[in-house]
Structure formats: C-alpha cells, structure tokens
Structure 1
Amino acid sequence: MLFPVTAALFAVPFMIVQYRRHGYIHKVRAIVLYLLLLYLMNAFFLILLPLPKSIHNEPPQAGSYFQLVPFRFVSDILRETAVKADAPSTYWHLLKERAVWQVAFNVVLTVPFGMFLRYYFRANWLRCLLLSLGLSLLFETTQVTGIFGIYDYPYRLFDVDDLLTNTAGGMVGFLVAEWVASHLPRIDKLDENVDLTQQRVSYTRRGLAFLIDWIVMAPAMGILRVFDVPYPYVAAVLIYFVGLPFFTNGRTIGKWAVRIRLKGRGERIRLDELLIRYGLLYLVVFGLNLLDAAYLANHGSKIVAALGALALLVMDAAFGLHLISRMITRKRQLFYEERSGTGHVIA
C-alpha cells in the first residue's frame, strides 16, 4: 500500500537524474530501478515487522542485545533437529526445523540485492560483498537501536549470523545475476543506438521543467514584492522567462535540470521570439487569471465578477482543450509556440 506513494515521491528525482545523465528515460532502467525500490521496501518491512504495540516496549528477555558468536545457527540446528547422522532417512526432518528455515530465509533475503548490484550497477564481486555486508549491518543496527531510538528498547537482537547469511545471499545473487543478465538487455548498451536529436521532448518532461521553474519563481516574486518593485509578476516573468533564456540560449533552471532548451528559427533564440512565446502564455493566459483574482480582491461588483469569471472560464476551457488536443494528436505545437516559432529540443 505504501509503494505507490513512495514511487510517486521517487518519480521526480528519478526523472531528473535520468534526463541529466542519459538525455531520456529508458523503460528498462525505469522498471529495474522501481523494482529495486519495491525490493528494498519489502526487505525493510520483513526485518522490521511486526512492530511492538507501544514505543514504550519492554527490554528483550535475553541478557544481551547482541549475539556475537559466528555460526551459532549450526549449534541451534544440531540442538533442535531430529536428524541422526547415521540415518539418512531422517535428513528430511531438516526441512521442518525453525533454525534451518531462518538461515535459508536470511540468505534469500539479499539474493535480489546482489542481482541488482551486478546487473544494473555493474558492481564487481568485492563491491557486492561490501555493500551486501553494509545492507545487513543497516538491518541489524536498525533493529538493535529500536529503529534508531523510536522504541525504548530493541525488540530484536543484533545477530552476527544474520550478517554472515545476508552477505552470503548477496554473493549468491551476484552469481545468479550472470545467468539472468544473459536473458536481459545489457544496461551499458541501452544507449548505443539512441539518437537524442530524434527524441521527442515529451509533455511530462516539459511539465517537470515547468514545475521546477515555478518553484524558483515563487520566492523570486516574493522578493520583488518586499522591495516594492512595480508589477512583480510581470517583472519576474520578463526577467526569468525572457531575460534568462535570452542569455543562456533557451535555458531556464527547470529546462537545464531536465536537459532541454528552447530553439527558435535560428541558431540562437531571439528576444522577440521569447517575448511572443511567454507574453502569450504567462502575460495573457496566466496573467489575465491573476489580474481577475486581484481585481475581485479589491472590488466587490457582482456583475463585473460574474462577467470576468465567465470570460476566464471560456478562455481557460479553450486553452485546456487546446492542450489536450496537442497531447493526443501528431500536431504537438501549442498556439504560443506556433506564433513565436519556438520549440523544445534536447540539450
């Protein structure tokens, strides 16, 4: 249930990193990284749950919070098992022993981690060994600290055997990944035949750049208001969306983050192209909405308010339908792009 929320929060940084590093998003990378996220969430829930009923829990019954004797599980198995060394017919009883299943599941727990390390991150055996040990150490530390102090006492013990079996599981995954990788596309070869000049700039990518730009713009307008700059919205639009792209040849902070830029009719984008593009979008479409809101805040005429709201409703509905039509048809240029002769390209 938590995965969709976490995946949504992960989406923005994931897209920014993919756009910056590769210039586009490949579906294989996306699937593998989201599977890694899902795996790590499941692994942590498996070692953390069930939680104590209260954060004011009782201390463990054992005298110590640590089990530091390596291979203690071997003596546990020998003590609990009904297997007799001289009677092979009793060996199947091992499958019924709790200690055996605990070891087996501790190994299986980190097998996917080793597979991800080798297949996606191209880790060598030593790095896989150290990272698997580090992941297991994180598991054990989380448990023995009561989830880093959330609970009064640890509700599970730190067990060195868990470190050994988890690390072994990571190395098993490292070995298995060689066979798995032979049936999957090679991560280091995904971009070999990709021509970024032929890649279309999606509306998702443009929307992410828009989001970043307005996160930057909002405090900028606040600063202009503090210094009593006349018409702070207009000033911010002209500085950020016209002046900045003019000097950077089509880039804003948001466009830089997702590796796109504006291109006009020539090699360098012109000032008049930027004025037409963003004048129509931010000063006309967005600006009229803000102007109407400001007018209604200072005037109480119901007739004017009704007429203004109706006019804006028509304009916004027309713009919304225009945007949807461009998203679902081959003709993808929006009206302000057609008028200004500008468009997005991958930088």
Structure 2
Amino acid sequence: MFESYLFPISYAFMSFPVAALLFTLPFLIIQYRRYGYIHKLRALILYLLLLYLINVFYLIMLPFPATRHNLPPAGGSLQLVPLQFIGEILHSSRFTADDPSTYITLLSEPPFYQAVFNVLLMVPFGMFLGYYFRTRWVVCILLSFCLSLLFEITQITGIYGFFDHPYRVFDVDDLITNTLGGIAGYRIALWISAALPRIEQLDANEDLSAKRVTYTRRGIACILDACVWLPASGLLSLSPVPYPVWITQAVYFLLLPRLTGGKTPGKWLVRIRVQSKSGRPKLWRLAVRYGLLYAVLPGMNILLFDSAYAETMNPELAASARGVVLLADLLFLIHTVISIFRKKELFYERLSGTRNLITWPEKLRQAAADESPQIAQ
C-alpha cells in the first residue's frame, strides 16, 4: 500500500525544479516589493510550501485513468454520509467491544490507513498557516476545508471535463479528515513556534544598511523594463516617426527616471532606483549611463549587422567593423562576468557616477532611519 504513495511523491520531486523555476520570478518580485530584500529563511519556507503543495496535488490526483474515455467509479461517485469510514473499519475488522485484544486489529484495516493518511496529508498545510502566515484558527479551518474541497471537486468533475467520468469518489469523510489534519498542524505550529525564529521579527535582526543591490535584482528589473519599452518601440516603428528605437530609449531611460527620481517601471517593481552621489541623478549622468548601456554597444551591433545599412559600406570596412564590434561584445561580457563575481560596479556606472540603491518599504525605512542615513533617504 505504501508503494502507491511513493509513485506520486517521486513525480512531485521530479516536477519541483520546473515549478520552482516558474515560481521564482513572481516570488522575487513580491519579496522585493514587500520586504525590500530576500531573507533566506523566508525563501526556504515558501519553497518548502511549494514542494509540499506539489506533493499533495500528485498524491491526491494520481494515478490518472489510462484513457480520457474512462468508466465511472464502481458503486457510484458520491459518498455523502459523514464518518462512514468508522463503520467501514468496524465492519471489516474482527473488532469486538468486549474483547480488548481485538482493538489492535483496527489499525490494520485499509479504511483506517486512508483516514490517517488524509489527516497527515494536511498537517503541514496547517503548520504553514500557523507558523509562517500567522492566520487565526478560524481561517485555518476555512482554508484547509477549501483546499480539500478544491481537490474533491477536481476529481468529481474528471479534472473539469478532461475525463469523461469522475475517476475518484467525492467523499465527505475526506473533507472532514483533511480539515482535521489542518487544525492539528495549526496546533503543532503553535506548540513549536517558541523554538523557531519568529517570522514577524526576521527583519528586525537584519542589518539593512549592509544590503546591496544584487545583479539578480538588476537583471529582473532589466527584463521587466524590456517587456515595456521593446513593445513600445515596436508600436512606434509602425508610425512614420524616424528612429523609433532611439526615441523610445530616450523617453524611457532618460526622461522617465529624471522625473521619477531614478526609477523605471522595472526598477520600481523590484524597489531600486538610480542615484548619483549628490542624490537625484542629473540628466547628463543618465544619458552617459544608459547611452553606454543601450545606445553605444547595442547601437553598433544593430547598425553593422543590419543588411540594409551594411550594403552602403565598403565590404572590407564592414567586415573589419563587425570584427571590432564582436570583440567589444566579448570584452563587455568578460567585464560583466568579472564584475558579478567580484561584486564591482560596471564601467558605465563608474563613468556616469551613478549606482543602484534599494528603495526600502516605509515600515523598514522608519525602523532603520536612526541607524542608517542611506536607508532613511
């Protein structure tokens, strides 16, 4: 019987890397927006929650029928009698109330194992709600019931019509035992929380003044910005306006940060901003920073590798120019890799006298204002 549980668990662990990859980007954005940085313990707990939910999904949903055109469950697809599993246990065992030696036989019955499994299945969910999310017990009951109901509905509908018939029984006892497991996990979390770091005090033990903008954070901001200005540039290119790419870049990376105190939409989402040593960056500093980053090197690549423009040049000169640009690309790549590993500034930051700073959430900014003038800004 226990082998039937190992099959879905193995699938869950194989699926986890893919799910974690999809989960990481929204997770990082939300953590940056809410807390201003990534706390390792907070991240560990949330990834464990993701792994747990994947395991629960596979344990409840697998195995699927061999074909979409399946037959309905034998004996019907609904079991609406509360606590019927108790009667099934008593009926299938050699239990006799007057004979204590028969009590142990209850533990060997499949209905008993199924009920225990349904309780244990939701214990971690209740622990996450009680320890990390700090919910009230009423909320824990409702969420545990709703999660169980979601799985039961998914099964009774044949994954919302994907299969011709339900492939599992909608059992009201599963709702009861799953909810009981959530409550038990919630109580366990309250008992052991005294021995664990308090979630609401994680930020109080961190030196926020020592936090720096990571290249991961900058990369996310760059991707988010590209999702905005590249489509905008494409739309502008449909009009007769000349040089749509350069105009879009000038508006997005020069005028917008100048008006917003060094923020683009991507930087705003991950709570960082561009700042010079004197505070709000001047327009010429932004022009040097983003001109080197988005105009000079990328611009040379676009011009020299554009077939229409290359035809206007001498073939030998065009080939030499392309070689120089490729060498510049390689040097920039090497410089970027070295800067990432050494945690140094990139060359366009040094030349422009600008850098990225964290825009802390208000509650953390006020708490750290007396300790770090930089955070208080």
TM category (shorter chain) comes to over 0.9
Q: Which amino acid aligns with 1:314?
A: L
| CA separation of 1:51 and 1:297: change in aligned 2, threshold 3 A | farther
Match in the other structure for 2:11: none
2:22 is equivalent to residue 15 of structure 1:
no
- Per-residue CA deviation, residues 287-311 of structure 1 (Å, 9 max, x unaligned), is 1112222246763976455424322
Aligned mates of 1:306, 1:81 — CA distance in 2: 86
Asked if the contact 2:305/2:322 (under 8 Å) is kept, the reply is no
Given the alignment of the two structures, is residue 233 of structure 1 paired with residue 245 of structure 2, yes or no?
Answer: yes
CA deviation profile, 1:206-253 (whole Å, cap 9, x unmatched) = 000000000101111111101122111111111101110011110000
Task: Tell me the residue number matched to 2:368.
Answer: none
CA-CA distance at 1:180 after TM superposition: 3.0
Q: Give SS of 2:204's match.
A: coil
1:164 maps to a residue whose letter is I
1:89-143 deviations in Å (ceiling 9; x for gaps): 2322222210110000000010000000011100111110111111111111111
Structure 2 residue aligned with 1:289: 301
The answer for unaligned runs of 5 or more in structure 2 is 1-13, 360-377
Structure 2 residue identity aligned to 1:342: T
- Rounded to whole Å, the distance in 1 between the matches of 2:309 and 2:99 is 90
1:50 correspondence with 2:63: yes
- Residue in 1 aligned with 2:257? 245
Aligned to 2:198: 186
Residue aligning to 2:136: 124
8 A Cα contact 1:224 1:232, kept in partner:
yes
Q: Distance in 1 between matches of 2:317 and 2:46?
A: 53
Asked whether the 8 Å contact 1:110–1:166 carries over to 2, the reply is: yes
CA contact (8 A) 2:73 2:166 kept: yes
Mean alpha-carbon deviation: is it higher for 44-53 or for 264-273? 264-273
CA distance in 2, matches of 1:3, 1:159: 28
Distance 1:11 1:293 in 2: 35
Question: Which residue is 1:99 aligned to?
Answer: 111
Asked if the contact 1:244–1:251 (Cα under 8 Å) also holds between the matched residues in 2, the reply is yes
Counterpart in 2 of 1:213?
A: 225
Residue type of the alignment partner of 1:27: K
CA displacement at 1:323 relative to structure 2: 0.8
Displacement, 1:56?
1.1
Paired AA for residue 273 in structure 2: R
The structure 1 residue matched to 2:178, chosen from 143, 166, 170, is 166
C-alpha deviation, 1:198, in angstroms: 3.1
**Cα 1:73–1:247 shift into 2, 3 Å:** same
Equivalent pair of 1:197/1:346 in contact (CA under 8 Å) = no
Map of 1:268 onto structure 2: 280
1:33 Cα deviation from its structure 2 partner: 0.6
- Partner Cα separation in structure 1 for residue 220 and residue 106 of structure 2: 55
Q: 1:345 aligns with which of 347, 350, 357?
A: 357
TM-aligned CA deviation for residue 82 of structure 1: 1.9
Q: 1:319 aligns with which of 332, 346, 361?
A: 332
Relative distance call for 1:297 and 1:169 in structure 2 (3 A) is farther
> What is the distance in 2 between the residues matched to 1:341 and 1:205?
20
What amino acid sits opposite 2:38 in the alignment? I
For 2:100 and 2:210, locate their aligned partners in 1 and report how far apart those are by CA, in whole Å. 66
* Contact residue 57 and residue 152 of structure 1 kept, 8 A: yes
Instruction: Provide the secondary structure at the position in 2 that maps to 1:86.
Output: coil
- Conserved 8 A contact 2:90-2:106: no
Q: Which residue of 1 aligns with 2:370?
A: none
Matched, 1:4 2:10: no
| 2: CA distance, partners of 1:227 / 1:184 | 60
Question: Is residue 40 of structure 1 aligned with residue 53 of structure 2?
Answer: yes
Paired amino acid for 2:46: L
Structure 1 residue identity aligned to 2:322: A
Q: CA RMSD in A?
A: 1.6
1:335 counterpart residue number? 347
User: 1:247 is aligned with what amino acid?
Assistant: L
Q: Secondary structure at the match of 1:269?
A: coil
Residue 127 (structure 2) aligns with = 115
3-state SS of paired residue (1:69): coil
> In the alignment, is the contact (CA less than 8 A) between 2:303 and 2:309 conserved in 1?
no
- Worse-matched range after superposition: 304-313 or 26-35: 304-313
Structure 1: runs of 5+ lacking an equivalent: none
Determine the structure 1 residue equivalent to 2:165: 153
- What amino acid is aligned across from residue 159 of structure 1 in structure 2? D
Q: Which residue of 174, 198, 210 corresponds with 2:210? A: 198
- TM-score, with structure 2 as normaliser: 0.88
Task: Work out which of the residue numbers 143, 148, 154 in structure 1 matches 2:155.
Answer: 143
- Identify the residue that residue 310 of structure 1 maps to in structure 2: 323
- Identical pairs, percent: 51
The more displaced of 244-253 and 80-89 is 80-89
